[in-house]
Amino acid sequence: MRLHLLLIASLNFALVATPARGAAPSGPVDGIYIHFADAGLLTDCRTGKRLTVATEADNAALERAYLDSREAPGAPLWVSLLGHVESRPRQEGGGHEEVLVVDRFARVDPTRGCARSPGLASARWRLVQLEGRAASISGQPTPPFLLFKPESGRLSGSTGCNRLNGEYRSWGMSGFAVLPLATTRMACPPPLGEQERHFLDALARATHRIQAGTQLELLADGVPVARFEADDLH
């Protein structure tokens, strides 16, 4: 009887963990997960890539654990699972996107973050995405970037048009906030001026951060608002 039960359990696991034809093989994944507006997103700790999480297989267990453990709505949380990636048509707009299928949820841990990610002070963080769109760098003498000084709680950088500096707060695995910033007052051409306004607004609204791979992402109550790439690591 015991052997019979073990065979059934093994078969059930194989059925759960077998990816669809043409999908990437199932394997262990650890990352930073957020859930908002009935959608889940996971940032892979190894690559920094952000993936939409499919609402199937063992996703319900992941959602329950997240809702039970998060510190606030939309707060990022480290998770571990067995999953695979599939290319599927986008639900909105054309083309395809990579989707993570949770074959078997493992655990969450509010005290953990991505290992081997660069610290805030160890890099110059170049803006690569703003409110879901690629950051524009055409016509800019200096691409938008941030530099952090944790010992003094200060940050500096550029909007791509004006210099900025001020204070920030970072706590726990994901807490983050920027205090009102000071900037120079140089007039910016229309495309850069609009991006500057959105950039400063994103910094002012940030409530959390995700650090994975060489990526830093700022969130406002669960909504990704700005994404940065680490340059000049030291």
Hey, where are the domains in the chain? 2-109, 120-231
pLDDT digits (tens, 9 = 90+) for 126-156: 999 999 899 877 666 688 999 999 999 999 9
**pLDDT at 1 > cutoff 70:** no
- Across 8-22, 105-119, 146-160, 183-197, the highest mean pLDDT is recorded for 146-160
CATH of 120-231, one of 3.40.50.300, 3.90.550.10, 2.40.128.270, 3.30.70.20: 2.40.128.270
Q: How far apart are CA 121 and CA 155, in angstroms?
A: 10
Q: Is 24 helix (H, G, I), strand (E, B) or coil?
A: coil
Of 86-90, 133-137, 165-169, least confident by mean pLDDT is 133-137
**Residue 33, pLDDT above cutoff 80:** yes
As a whole-number percent, the residues of the chain with pLDDT over 70 amount to 87
Give 40-60 as a DSSP string: EEEEETTT--EEEEPSSTTHH
The full DSSP string for 136-203 is P-TT-SS--EEEEETTTTEEEEE-SSSEEEEEEEEETTTEEEEPPPEE------HHHHHHHHHHHHHH
Closest CA to 35 of 100, 87, 89: 100
pLDDT-based confidence at residue 229 (cuts at 50, 70, 90): very high
Q: How far is CA 215 from CA 84, 114, 137, 210, 223, in A?
A: 21, 11, 18, 8, 16
Give the C-alpha separation, 227 to 24, whole Å: 26
Cβ partners under 8 Å of residue 120, min gap 6: 148, 150, 170, 211, 216
Residue with tokens 């059925």: 15
CA distance 33 to 50: 9
pLDDT tens by residue, 92-129: 778 899 999 999 999 999 999 998 888 899 899 999 99
CATH topology of domain 2-109: OB fold (Dihydrolipoamide Acetyltransferase, E2P) (2.40.50)
Average pLDDT, the chain: 88
Say how many C-beta atoms besides its own lie within 10 A of residue 198's C-beta.
16
Tokens describing residue 59: 């996703």
**What are the percentages of helix, strand and coil residues in the chain, rounded to 5?**
20, 45, 35
* pTM for the predicted model, two decimal places: 0.85
Q: Which residues, 6+ apart, have CB-to-CB distance to 80 below 8 Å?
A: 28, 29, 30, 106, 107, 108, 109
Which whole number is the average pLDDT over 166-188?
Answer: 95
